[in-house]
C-alpha cells in the first residue's frame, strides 16, 4: 500500500491557501469579518457553520478562528514537505520525526468531522460546546502509538467521535458550567477519561489497531542540539503547535500569523471575542520560555518535555477568567511553567505502555488549572 495522501503533497498547500482566500473573499463580500458573537449567533448558516468547524482546529490554543487554523495547517504541510525532503530549515521534525503527519492529520480531521456530525446539535443550546476535542486527542495519539494505516486511522477517528467528544460534553455541561469551573478542565478531563477507556478497548480488541501492511516510518537519529539561545527561542515557538502533536516552528508560525491577521481584521473575532488576545499570547509565550529555561535539563536528558502545557490550559484560562493584567499574565505563566510539566511527567511515567503519554499531559492540565487559576485570581485581586 502506498503512503496515504489526503491530497497530493504538491497540491495540499495550494488547496489550503485557496480555502483561505475563499473565506476571505466571502467575508469581505459581506462588508466585514464577523466577530465571535456574530458567528455563534448564525451557526444555522452554512458559511458560519463551516467557520466554526475550521475554527475548531485552532481552538486548543483558545484562538477559535479559521485563519489561525488554516495557518497552522499550511505551516504543518510545509514542515512535512521539508521533512520528507530533508531540508534543514524544517525546524523540529513535525510529529516528532515519525513521518506520520498525513495519517495524524487525516485521523484527527475525520474525528473532528464525525464529532460535528454526531454532536453538532449541542450548539443549538446557545452555550459554547467542546466540539474541537477530537482533533487534538485520541485519533492522533493512536496513530503515533500504533503506527500508520487505515485501520488505525479510522479506529482513532471513530473512538474520538464516539468517546472523547461526548465525555468532554458531559464534563463541561454537568461539571464546569454548574460549578463555574474553567471550561478547559472539562475539555481535558473528558479527553483523559475517554482515552483511558479507548486504550483499554484497544488492548481488549487488538484487531482494531493491528497495522496494515504499511510499515511505520523509522525515526531519524536525534539531532545534537547546543540548547543555547537559538534552540530556546525555536523551542518556545514550536510549543505553540505541540497540542495537536505537531511540535514544529513552521506550524506554530502559521498559527500565530493567522491569529494576528484575524485580530487585525476584527479584534472581537478570535479568542471568543474577549479582546484579550494580546495578553493571552504574551502569557503563552512567557509560560513556554520560563518552562524551557527552567526544565532545560529535562529536555537534554529526555529529548522532549511537556513545557507546552500552560499554553493550552492555565494561561488562557486565567486570562479569560481574571482579565489581561500583568499580574494575571505573569502569575499564570510562571506558576504554570513551574507546576504543570513535572506533574505531567510524573503521571505519564506511571501509565502502562499500551497508553499514550498524552493522557498524563491532559490530566496535568486539569489538575494544574484547577489549582492555579483561583490562586492567580487571589494574587491579582490582592495586588490590584
Q: pLDDT tens for residues 223-241?
A: 557 889 999 999 999 999 9
Total of domains in the chain = 1
Q: What is the pLDDT of residue 30?
A: 54
Cα of 344 vs its chain's centroid, Å: 16
> Which tens digit of pLDDT belongs to each residue from 230-269?
999 999 999 999 999 999 999 999 999 999 999 999 999 9
HSE toward the beta carbon, residue 55, CA cutoff 13 A: 26
End-to-end, the C-alpha distance of the chain in Å comes to 62
CA–CA separation, 110 and 94 (whole Å): 20
Q: Which three cell numbers stand for residue 26?
A: 466571502
Residue 382 falls inside a structural domain: yes
The 10 Å Cβ neighbour count of residue 304 is 13
Residue 212 falls inside a structural domain: no
Residue 88 falls inside a structural domain: no
**Residues 6 or more apart in contact with residue 65 via CB below 8 angstroms:** 55, 58, 258, 259, 262, 269, 270
Residue 331 falls inside a structural domain: yes
CA–CA separation, 179 and 46 (whole Å): 34
Q: Which three cell numbers stand for residue 288?
A: 513556554
CA–CA separation, 79 and 6 (whole Å): 16
Q: What is the pLDDT of residue 126?
A: 86
Cα of 53 vs its chain's centroid, Å: 14
**Of 83-87, 258-262, 277-281, 377-381, which gets the smallest average pLDDT?**
377-381
Q: Is the pLDDT of residue 73 over 80?
A: yes
Q: Which three cell numbers stand for residue 324?
A: 489581561
Residue 384 falls inside a structural domain: yes
CA–CA separation, 182 and 149 (whole Å): 37
HSE toward the beta carbon, residue 116, CA cutoff 13 A: 17
Q: Which three cell numbers stand for residue 323?
A: 482579565
Q: Which three cell numbers stand for residue 370?
A: 484547577
pLDDT band, residue 215 (cuts 50/70/90): very low
pLDDT band, residue 200 (cuts 50/70/90): very high
CA–CA separation, 48 and 79 (whole Å): 29
Q: Is the pLDDT of residue 319 over 70?
A: yes
Q: Which domain holds residue 363?
A: 276-384
Residue 110 falls inside a structural domain: no
Q: Are the CB atoms for 262 and 35 separated by under 8 Å?
A: no
Q: What is the pLDDT of residue 128?
A: 95
Share of the chain above pLDDT 90, in %: 83
pLDDT band, residue 33 (cuts 50/70/90): confident
For residues 295-309, give the mean pLDDT: 96
Q: What is the pLDDT of residue 219?
A: 46
Residue 181 falls inside a structural domain: no
Helix or strand holding residue 317 (H, E)? helix 314-322
Q: Which three cell numbers stand for residue 216?
A: 511505520
Q: What is the pLDDT of residue 114?
A: 97
Q: Is the pLDDT of residue 216 over 50?
A: no
Q: What is the pLDDT of residue 2?
A: 42
* CA angle (301, 303, 304) in 5-degree steps: 115
> Which tens digit of pLDDT belongs to each residue from 7-29?
444 455 555 555 555 655 555 55
pLDDT band, residue 380 (cuts 50/70/90): confident
> Which tens digit of pLDDT belongs to each residue from 117-175?
999 999 998 899 999 999 999 999 999 999 999 999 999 999 999 999 999 999 999 99
Share of the chain above pLDDT 70, in %: 87
The Cα diameter of the chain in Å comes to 62
Q: What is the pLDDT of residue 384?
A: 54
Q: What is the pLDDT of residue 1?
A: 38
For residues 293-313, give the mean pLDDT: 96
Query: Across the chain, how many H-helices and E-strands are there?
Result: 17, 0
Q: Is the pLDDT of residue 343 over 90?
A: yes
Q: What is the pLDDT of residue 226?
A: 82
Q: What is the pLDDT of residue 60?
A: 97
Residue 315 falls inside a structural domain: yes
Q: Which residue has the higher pLDDT, 367 or 219?
A: 367
Q: Which residue has the higher pLDDT, 96 or 17?
A: 96
Mean pLDDT of the chain: 90
Cβ-count burial 82-99 (b if 16+ within 10 Å, e if not) = bbbeeeeebbbbbbbbbb
Q: What is the pLDDT of residue 16?
A: 56
Amino acid at each position: 500500500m502506498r503512503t496515504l495522501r489526503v491530497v497530493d503533497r504538491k497540491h495540499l498547500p495550494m488547496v489550503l491557501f485557496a480555502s483561505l482566500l475563499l473565506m476571505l473573499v466571502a467575508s469581505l463580500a459581506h462588508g466585514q469579518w464577523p466577530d465571535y458573537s456574530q458567528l455563534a449567533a448564525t451557526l444555522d448558516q452554512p458559511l458560519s457553520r463551516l467557520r466554526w468547524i475550521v475554527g475548531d482546529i485552532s481552538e486548543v490554543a483558545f484562538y477559535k478562528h479559521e485563519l489561525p487554523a488554516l495557518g497552522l495547517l499550511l505551516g504543518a504541510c510545509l514542515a512535512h514537505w521539508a521533512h520528507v525532503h530533508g531540508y534543514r530549515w524544517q525546524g523540529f521534525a513535525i510529529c516528532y520525526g515519525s513521518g506520520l503527519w498525513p495519517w495524524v492529520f487525516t485521523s484527527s480531521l475525520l474525528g473532528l468531522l464525525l464529532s460535528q456530525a454526531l454532536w453538532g446539535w449541542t450548539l443549538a443550546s446557545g452555550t459554547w460546546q467542546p466540539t474541537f476535542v477530537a482533533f487534538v486527542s485520541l485519533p492522533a495519539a493512536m496513530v503515533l502509538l500504533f503506527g500508520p494505516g487505515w485501520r488505525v486511522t479510522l479506529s482513532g477517528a471513530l473512538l474520538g467521535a464516539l468517546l472523547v467528544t461526548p465525555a468532554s460534553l458531559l464534563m463541561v455541561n454537568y461539571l464546569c458550567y454548574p460549578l463555574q469551573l474553567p471550561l478547559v478542565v472539562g475539555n481535558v478531563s473528558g479527553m483523559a477519561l475517554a482515552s483511558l477507556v479507548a486504550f483499554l478497548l484497544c488492548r481488549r480488541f487488538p484487531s482494531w489497531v493491528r497495522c496494515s501492511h504499511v510499515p511505520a516510518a523509522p525515526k531519524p537519529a536525534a539531532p545534537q542540539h547546543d540548547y543555547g539561545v537559538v534552540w530556546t527561542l525555536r523551542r518556545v515557538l514550536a510549543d505553540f503547535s505541540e497540542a495537536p502533536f505537531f511540535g514544529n516552528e513552521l506550524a506554530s508560525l502559521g498559527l500565530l500569523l493567522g491569529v494576528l491577521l484575524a485580530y487585525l481584521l476584527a479584534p472581537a473575532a478570535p479568542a471568543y471575542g474577549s479582546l484579550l488576545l494580546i495578553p493571552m499570547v504574551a502569557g503563552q509565550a512567557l509560560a513556554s520560555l520560563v518552562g524551557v529555561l527552567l526544565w532545560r535539563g529535562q529536555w537534554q536528558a529526555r529529548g522532549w518535555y511537556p513545557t507546552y502545557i500552560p499554553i493550552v490550559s492555565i494561561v488562557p484560562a486565567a486570562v479569560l477568567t481574571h482579565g489581561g493584567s500583568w499580574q494575571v499574565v505573569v502569575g499564570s505563566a510562571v506558576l504554570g511553567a513551574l507546576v504543570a510539566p513535572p506533574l505531567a511527567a510524573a503521571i505519564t511515567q506511571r501509565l502502562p505502555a499500551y497508553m499514550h503519554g498524552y493522557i498524563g499531559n491532559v490530566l496535568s492540565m486539569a489538575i494544574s488549572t484547577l489549582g492555579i487559576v483561583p490562586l492567580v485570581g487571589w494574587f491579582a485581586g490582592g495586588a490590584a
